[in-house]
Amino acid sequence: MRFQESLYPAWGQNFGQTRVLFEQQTDHQHLIIFENELFGRVMALDGVTQTTSRDEFIYHEMMVHVPLLTHPHPQRVLIIGGGDGGILREVCKHQTVEHITQVEIDASVVELCTQFFPNHSAGSFEDPRLTLTINDGAAFVHDCQDQFDVIIADSTDPIGPAEVLFETDFYRHCARLLTPSGILITQNGVPFLQGQELTNTYQRWRGLFETRSCYLTTVPTYVGGPMAMGFASHAPFSLPSIESLRSRSGTLGPLNYYTPAAHHGAFGLPGYVSALLVDSPTDG
Ligand code: SAM
């Protein structure tokens, strides 16, 4: 058996399936979890690879430690999506964090990933700092009156339930909920193949944030080259010194991808990615 990813009609990866562990049409999306000889356990939602037990550390460490080590003193964190628990696991490593709110639309993802990918959450769903809410992230931020230092939108791609997480209204509410040094991080796809999504996000952030940028990380099973992690902040852009990042990241315990040098290097954008971070010409 094989799993053929369906994100791009004209091209895509396919995995050998040594065993299908679970497959279900949930209330929100098609969910499959299977085993692959190279990547271990793999989860896909609506035909798109979401996470694998072998390369998840890359994505989760870079989605979390870049913003939380850039923010001077992150205490309140909001995670949108992230039902597999990988983002939460990494956020819990930060002792400055006093409160974590996580809003995931599909309870099945939390339940099944806790069962089939126990190392993703590694017990962090039991962390007393966590408030987990099953809800649409867009609806949550619309009604929320709290403030957060960091918001991480660990969503699926802008097709299906996650589409609302790429719209201006969602970003506007995130901007409202962030503290003065607050940072928003978004899963913004693979620019080589999904460049318009990154441009859309950049343009929709205009007027909402002082800083609009992204950084790149290559995750083997997010095919098509490096993926963009959108980076927006009410504060001017800052790249903490290597020494400061070394000192602060040294308190997080062992990391397998994040290093201060990787943090700095991730913001070194190649020309074709910088060219996507433009306001539409009609905007003047
Ligand atoms: N690492 C993956 C990636 O880069 O594509 C994302 C992983 S995580 C599994 C994505 C999560 O977003 C899923 O659990 C999905 O249920 C959740 N999600 C999708 N739309 C959502 C929404 N509108 N509100 C909250 N969670 C949502």
Inform me whether the pLDDT recorded for 266 exceeds 60: yes
* Residue ID of nearest Cα to ligand 1 atom 1: 50
- State pLDDT tens for residues 14-30: 999 999 999 999 999 99
User: Domains (ranges, CATH) in the chain?
Assistant: 2-52 (2.30.140.10), 56-274 (3.40.50.150)
Assigned token pair, 179: 């503290």
Q: What is the pLDDT of residues 44-57, one digit of tens each?
A: 999 999 999 999 99
Sheet holding 19-25, edge to edge: 19-25, 30-36, 40-45, 48-52
**Residue 284: predicted pLDDT:** 43
64 lines ligand 1 (CB under 6 A): no
Site to substitute for ligand 1 among 111, 155, 193, most atoms within 8 A of C-beta? 155
Query: What's this model's pTM, rounded to 2 decimal places?
Result: 0.96
Top pLDDT among 166 and 283 is at: 166
Nearest atom, ligand 1, residue 227 CA: 4
> Which sequence positions are flagged as catalytic?
154
Task: Give pLDDT, residue 281.
Answer: 66
> Would you state the pLDDT for residue 191?
98
> pLDDT-based confidence at 280, cuts 50/70/90?
confident
Write out pLDDT tens, residues 117-170.
Answer: 999 999 999 999 999 999 999 999 999 999 999 999 999 999 889 999 999 999
Indicate whether residue 158 lines ligand 1 (CB < 6 A). Answer: no
With a cut of 90, say whether residue 37 has pLDDT above it.
yes
CA distances from 168 to 101, 131, 174, 206, 223 (A): 22, 26, 10, 10, 27
| Ligand 1 midpoint to CA 71 (Å) | 24
Distance 281 CA to ligand 1 centre (A): 32
pLDDT value at 252 more than 50: yes
Atom of ligand 1 nearest to the CA of 110: 14
